[in-house]
């Protein structure tokens, strides 16, 4: 049954935000270090791919095509990471479980209202409290230190894209490394790189290790996320084996709730589906 709700007065929620509340950011030292490490590893892959393999390559067509593909996917991966990290995942307004607010929201007498004891917020259906963010997050899937943020209703698309593009550049880097090794062995390590043979081997081996690790991790994570979206469940709901107290969407509607209506914008980290329910407008900060 649906009820009519009325929006709360506009205010700026500055908790977990920087620059006067304009940008979402979790001040967690572990998450910040992990995010910085992610950027460093992407930068390392960019350095090796460009300076060891592609730029010194004597094959212009091979060089140009792979430069465009690798750098394009890297740009989208970094953009997706930043959007995931600095997007509000769906945080419920802090301390909104007051008598005045409850009356404004139009709850009826006798209706059961769940209140989070940790952040004093009205806890909507499918919301969970994150101990790192110190907020209730709507449709919280998990807290990921690699993006220093929770994965929830508002940023799950960006996280899926991040996993997808990292997996893509990891597989591409593996292909380039194998091709580079084959070329160096064929030419007996002469003119196969601007670096010395020992340095080239070390750089390529470390990149292969990094690419394998990230490819396996992101492909598994991508499969997990897509399965959860397909089944209209979150990671926490699957882990706790919670009985569905909500009306499950169809498979396609569940996908659209994360990515929006099908278009090429599905693959863009600069586009948000911008889907908002009545309940969200009451519980989220304006």
144 is known as an active-site residue: yes
Distances (CA, A) of 232 to 46, 103, 225, 283: 36, 31, 10, 21
User: Whole-angstrom Cα distance, residue 93 to residue 245?
Assistant: 23
Q: Which two tokens stand for residue 171?
A: 């597989």
> Tokens 């572990």 map to which residue?
30
| Integer-rounded Cα radius of gyration of the chain | 23
Phi, psi of 186 (to 5 degrees): -60, -40
From the candidates 144, 164, 184, 282, which is the catalytic residue?
144
User: Whole-angstrom Cα distance, residue 267 to residue 274?
Assistant: 15
Residues serving a catalytic function are: 144
């Amino acid at each position: 049954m649906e009820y009519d709700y009325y929006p709360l007065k506009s205010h700026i929620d500055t908790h977990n935000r920087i620059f006067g509340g304009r940008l979402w950011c979790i001040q967690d030292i572990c998450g910040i270090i992990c995010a910085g490490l992610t950027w460093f590893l992407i930068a390392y892959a960019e350095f090796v791919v460009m300076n060891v393999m592609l730029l010194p390559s004597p094959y212009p067509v091979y060089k140009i095509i792979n430069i465009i593909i690798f750098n394009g996917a890297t740009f989208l991966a970094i953009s997706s990471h930043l959007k995931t990290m600095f997007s509000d995942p769906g945080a419920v307004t802090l301390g909104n479980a007051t008598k005045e607010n409850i009356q404004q929201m139009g709850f009826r007498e006798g209706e059961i209202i769940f209140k989070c004891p940790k952040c004093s917020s009205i806890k909507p259906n499918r919301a969970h409290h994150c101990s790192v963010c110190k907020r209730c997050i709507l449709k919280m899937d998990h807290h990921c230190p690699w993006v220093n943020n929770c994965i929830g209703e508002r940023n799950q698309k960006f996280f899926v894209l991040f996993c997808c593009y990292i997996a893509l550049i990891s597989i591409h880097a593996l292909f380039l490394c194998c091709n580079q090794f084959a070329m160096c062995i064929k030419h007996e390590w002469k003119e196969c790189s601007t670096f010395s043979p020992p340095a080239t081997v070390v750089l390529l081996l470390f990149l292969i290790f990094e690419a394998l690790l990230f490819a396996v991790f992101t492909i598994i994570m991508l499969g997990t996320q897509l399965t959860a979206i397909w089944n209209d469940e979150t990671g926490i709901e699957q882990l706790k084996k919670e009985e569905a107290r909500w009306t499950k969407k169809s498979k396609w509607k569940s996908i659209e709730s994360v990515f929006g209506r099908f278009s090429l914008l599905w693959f863009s980290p600069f586009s948000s589906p911008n889907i908002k329910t009545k309940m969200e407008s009451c519980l989220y900060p304006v």
